[in-house]
A and B are shown apart, each in its own frame.
Chain A
Amino acid sequence: MDELIYTLKQQIIETLNLEDMTPEDIDENASLFGEGLGLDSIDALELIVLMEKNYGIKLQDPNQGKEIFKSVAVIADYIAKNRTK
């Protein structure tokens, strides 16, 4: 799981252009939106694309995204249980 969390952090930094950030800067339990990483709605859409592109996971229900994108740790847990690639 630790390796998946680290990889996911790298992918988030690259996909969302979080310049000057390293995986170590991201607390996997911190909120991604609002006061945490401060991501916005476009970032949320990019995360949906990231999930499908890298892990074969299609999120159809926006409310599902709200729960899954709470933190890197929650995303990683969801990926581990649902990935198809």
Chain B
Amino acid sequence: MMKVCINPEMVIVNGKVLSHQEKGSALLTKLYRTYIGDYPKFFKMDTLSKLGFVASELLLQAENAERFVPREDRAVVFFNRSASLQADTTYQATIQDPDNFFPSPAAFVYTLPNIVTGEIAIRNKYFGETSFIVLPERDPSIMAQQLQNAFQDPMTQSILGGWLDCTDENHFEAELTLIFKS
């Protein structure tokens, strides 16, 4: 099973560690510049979306299948426990001070966790289901059940899914896999 794990200090693609000196969000930028580099919108994303974007790119590059062809048979299903906390905090900072009240539209658009599933679907031309499920804690049994449920849609033949959590630029965790209908 193809798998990508990213935390602020380490990146593992299919069991192989990718060595980089950068940590935290700087690591995500380094991964973008090293392995992707053709999607300037990356720099406008919140950290959760950057994390999901980079992790999905590494995973799909490892899949080595034809890309950017419109398809309806692949779903994107993510889970976490922090929703869009980092983006929420960033946005709140723009409205906290009554004397400096300038709500940021660019920060506001990321104040939902499922924005990252949209970013990935747009990038890859996926027209299947996209879901982002927020759980009280990471629960493998609930996650497995939800992924199984996604296959109830007869159109869905594979899922790009897994855990994608971020509380700030230095605390995040991605563990994404490609799951195929058996």
Contact = CB atoms under 8 A, between A and B. Distances in A.
B110 to A, nearest CB: 10
Contacts, number: 25
Given A49-B103, A49-B104, A52-B102, A42 B43 contact: no
Interface string A10-40: 0000001111000000000000000000000
B contacts with A: majority SS: helix
A83 interface: no
A46 B105 CA distance: 6
Given A19-B40, A42-B109, A45-B105, 19 more contacts: A16-B44, A16-B106, A17-B43, A17-B44, A17-B106, A18-B40, A19-B43, A42-B44, A42-B105, A42-B106, A46-B104, A46-B105, A46-B106, A49-B102, A49-B103, A49-B104, A49-B105, A52-B102, A53-B102
A19 B37 CA distance: 11
Interface in B73-105: 102-105
Nearest to B42: A19
Contacts of A42: 44, 105-106, 109
Interface in A42-82: 42-43, 45-46, 49, 52-53
Contacts of B44: 16-17, 42
Contacts of A46: 104-106
Contacts of B109: 42
Nearest to A48: B105
Could you say which interface size class chain A belongs to? 10 to 19
Interface of A: 16-19, 42-43, 45-46, 49, 52-53
A19 B106 CA distance: 15
Contacts of B105: 42, 45-46, 49
A46 B91 CA distance: 13
Contacts of B102: 49, 52-53
Interface in B88-132: 102-106, 109
Nearest to A54: B102
Contacts of B40: 18-19
Nearest to A19: B43
12 contacts: A17-B43, A17-B44, A19-B40, A42-B44, A42-B109, A43-B106, A45-B106, A46-B104, A49-B102, A49-B103, A49-B104, A52-B102
